[in-house]
Structure 1
Amino acid sequence: MQADVVVIGGAVMGASVAYWLTVMQPGLDVLVVEQDTTFARASTALSVASIRQQFTTAVNVEISRFGIEFIRDFKARMGLDLGLKEQGYLFLAQTPEGAATLRDVAAMQRAHGAATEVLTPGQIKARFPWLEVGDLSAGSFGATGEGWFDNMGLLSGFRTMAKAQGARFVNDRVTGLRMVSGQVAGVVLERAGEVACRFAVNAAGTRASEVCQMAGLTLAVEPRKRTVFVIDAPNARHPDAPLLVDAGFYLRPEQNHWITATVPQDDCACDPNDFEPDLDLFEQVIWEQLYARAPGFDAVKVVRHWVGHYAYNTLDQNAILGPHPEVPNLLLCNGFSGHGLQQSPAVGRGIAEQILTGGWQTIDLSDLSAARMIEGRAFRELAVV
């Protein structure tokens, strides 16, 4: 078997790469290898499915600007409405230094087309009267271009259109890479055997470092567990609420319920097969802070929960994109640290541009190059939720 491009990893990022490759060069032979076609444990399926422009690095703002327009236009492109709810993100700060940071970052975001507003505590209270603001110094709010959408619809649209444009999807597991003169000559599959290729794309999510190891490379990406809670709060009915990012948790409405989660204090790498929930996080960490911020959450009940994994870049929590300097026909599409779903439209196009033109065309993604990982040159994203 052979293909022009083999994409390793078939969730939303792999499907986006396949979609853009076959849009930009019809007839290109693209093979996407999906280890689990149910996507039951894929980060895509287990995402909170949100998009924002409130990042601290300009390139991430540009990526999200592209992404929100793509999601808004998804029905016209793919015939599928993703149910986008543009209710915004509200980031809260509790110190003067935090307020100054929000103002500085918001200025950068607005310079790149975002609609971020910095609010005083009084303005926050006027807009969201159900919040307690006595301990706050400021908040930043994205009134447009931020919200949440149908994650599986995005994946389905990419896959369906990529297939219609000629991409092939196979259910198999990558067991090795055949290397010749410092290049990937073939991708070895457990059932189908070797697939000869001109390019390979590592879009393997939390298993990205395992794929790099097959080429003799190291990659500072590891799985980190996140337990997400769906809660009922009968005294807190605010369906138009934004996605709230507080010091110790985040929260957003979901129909008649709320979704909330926190970063564990002992956050560290987990086994990629560990999907056991940390149920104590809600009562011991989240609920007290949530009740202090919004007294309407005096009566709450967890109605369900799930566990997802971040493909966490331990160097700087930013994506790792493009050709690996030591294996130039192996393109990396890894380390999104919880931002992969929302970044998939722009990043998939960027990886396709690298393969077809040898450079970044639509958005300059060079700040996220793999070279910085080898050099240990951090390009840090501070707004990791």
Structure 2
Amino acid sequence: MPMVSDTADVVIVGGAAIGSSVACHLAADPGFRGKVIVIEKDPTYRLSASALSAASIRQQFSSPVNIRISLFGIEFLRRIGSHLAVAGEAPSIDLHEGGYLYVASEAGRQIIEDNQRLQQQEGADVALYAAAMLRSKFGWLNTEDLACGSYGVSGEGWFDGWALLQAFRRKARSLGVEYRQGEVAAYVVEGGRVTGVELADGSRIACAAAVNASGTHGARLAATAGVAIPVRSMKRYVYSFTCKGAVENCPLLIDTSGAYVRPEGQRGADGQMFICGASPPAALDREWIETDPDVEDVDWSFFEEHVWAPLAHRVPAFEAIRPGRAWAGPYDMNGLDGNAILGPAVGVPNLYLANGFSGHGLQQSPAVGRGLAEHIAHGRYLSLDLADLGHARIVAGRPLTEANII
């Protein structure tokens, strides 16, 4: 019989941006007075999505709930000092509201127009530009095959994702959250409820509720509680390069091919650095398995064929670049609809899911942390209803369609 080594009101499995945001918001909630333990397998977070992502935020989604999540997220990031300061010391995340620019050919015009209309209705500051306006505003952009583009005038951009993760973690610890290094092997379920977690060393921690924010291990861990989620961790590459040509005031550009690019840091003597990437076609999509010896290897042929080529067509200055470093990281892809799976698990109501973010986790961490904390402490969402992203749609096979997956 495994030994019960401790007891907590809430055990959070996974201490990266999502798990630490839940912990931080829960400990700060006036309606919650319990003990929170966060269990993290690797406290260096070296292979976490939070550390390896392109760290950006946008309102340009096609579903209202995702737009609302990001509208809260940008306000949170703008005022991060008031939210996450510890002992009077405010964190710095280097938020740069450089905007997103989605471009479309004639075939994609209707989607861009419909999305922009919804985004404006929800309060996002997104403008629709015809090709002539794109040429005027972004003189370095090849618009010969474009019909229009949508541009985030404000409220979109990029930031230091590592700094945000550490700010959540530091704030949570200051509020009494306990972090422990360990690997959770399984949930302990009795009478349809989680009563504890069992660690790989055989010990157990009893709990009244649990949160699955375990990233690449999310689906496997949920299955130990009898909960099925269609989440696979897929490998994604981020490439950097330097361009001497003038590409002034470049936003995060998403090409019609699906390739993206954005500036990184300040322009130097050798030119401006950019980072870029793309979602691979199905035939090239590889699973991210941390134990694989080549998990961190980067495929440069993918850069040449699927990233650089379309970007050089869209931005002629990118025809002459100097490639830099590159890295691989995980996307926890929800195979049903590419959206997060949030909230109580169907059939196990005190197991809270925070899985399948499909590349949106870092930017959604402020609102998701607040929402799950509210649900745990009060039994329901108080500020922003996240029910559209609930597990029930997964069980019913009812996708929440999102057109803007990068």
Alignment partners' CA distance in 1, 2:385 and 2:232:
26
Which shows bigger deviation, 352-361 or 58-67?
Answer: 352-361
Aligned to 2:92: 81
Alignment partners' CA distance in 2, 1:75 and 1:329:
32
Q: Is 1:22 the counterpart of 2:27 in the alignment?
A: yes
Q: Is 1:315 the counterpart of 2:336 in the alignment?
A: yes
Which residue identity is paired with 2:197? Answer: V
Aligned to 1:223: 233
Which residue identity is paired with 1:369? Answer: G
Which shows bigger deviation, 160-169 or 295-304?
Answer: 295-304
Three-state SS of the structure 2 residue aligned to 1:258 is strand
Aligned 8 A contact 1:65 1:114 in 2 = yes
Q: What are the residue-to-residue correspondences of 1:4-23 with 2, within 5 Å? A: 4-23=9-28
Select 1:93's aligned residue among 101, 104, 121: 104
Three-state SS of the structure 2 residue aligned to 1:91 is strand
Q: Is 1:150 the counterpart of 2:160 in the alignment?
A: yes
Aligned 8 A contact 1:83 1:149 in 2 = yes
Select 2:143's aligned residue among 125, 128, 133: 133
TM-score normalised by the chain length of structure 1: 0.97
Three-state SS of the structure 1 residue aligned to 2:82 is helix
Aligned 8 A contact 2:140 2:247 in 1 = no
Q: How many residue pairs end up in the alignment?
A: 383
Which residue identity is paired with 1:207? Answer: H
Alignment partners' CA distance in 1, 2:243 and 2:29:
48
Select 2:78's aligned residue among 61, 72, 75: 72
Q: Is 1:172 the counterpart of 2:182 in the alignment?
A: yes
Aligned to 1:344: 365
Aligned to 1:270: 287
Q: Is 1:247 the counterpart of 2:256 in the alignment?
A: yes
Once the two structures are TM-superposed, the CA of residue 269 in structure 1 deviates from its matched residue by: 5.1
Alignment partners' CA distance in 2, 1:31 and 1:141:
41
Once the two structures are TM-superposed, the CA of residue 237 in structure 1 deviates from its matched residue by: 4.3
Aligned to 1:44: 50
Alignment partners' CA distance in 1, 2:96 and 2:207:
41
- Which string of whole-angstrom CA distances, capped at 9 and with x for unpartnered residues, describes residues 279-336 of structure 1? 1111122222111111111211211000011000000001101001111110001111
Alignment partners' CA distance in 2, 1:134 and 1:268:
31
Once the two structures are TM-superposed, the CA of residue 347 in structure 1 deviates from its matched residue by: 0.4
Alignment partners' CA distance in 1, 2:202 and 2:20:
20
In structure 1, the gaps of 5 or more residues are none
Q: What are the residue-to-residue correspondences of 1:93-132 with 2, within 5 Å? A: 93-95=104-106, 97-132=107-142
Aligned to 1:367: 388
Which residue identity is paired with 1:10? Answer: G
Alignment partners' CA distance in 2, 1:284 and 1:271:
21
Q: CA RMSD in A?
A: 1.2
- Which string of whole-angstrom CA distances, capped at 9 and with x for unpartnered residues, describes residues 33-82 of structure 1? 10010111000000100000000000000000000000000023321121
Alignment partners' CA distance in 1, 2:62 and 2:330:
22
Q: Give me the identity figure in percent.
A: 41
Q: Is 1:286 the counterpart of 2:307 in the alignment?
A: yes
Three-state SS of the structure 2 residue aligned to 1:257 is strand
Q: Is 1:212 the counterpart of 2:222 in the alignment?
A: yes
Aligned to 2:268: none
C-alpha distance 284-206 of structure 1, shift in aligned 2 (>3 A) = same
Aligned to 2:198: 188
TM-score normalised by the chain length of structure 2: 0.92
Three-state SS of the structure 1 residue aligned to 2:263 is strand
Aligned 8 A contact 2:288 2:330 in 1 = no
Which residue identity is paired with 2:23? Answer: A
Three-state SS of the structure 1 residue aligned to 2:49 is coil
Alignment partners' CA distance in 1, 2:147 and 2:171:
47
- Which string of whole-angstrom CA distances, capped at 9 and with x for unpartnered residues, describes residues 118-161 of structure 1? 10111011111000101001000011000001111111111111
Alignment partners' CA distance in 1, 2:285 and 2:387:
28
Aligned 8 A contact 2:58 2:156 in 1 = yes
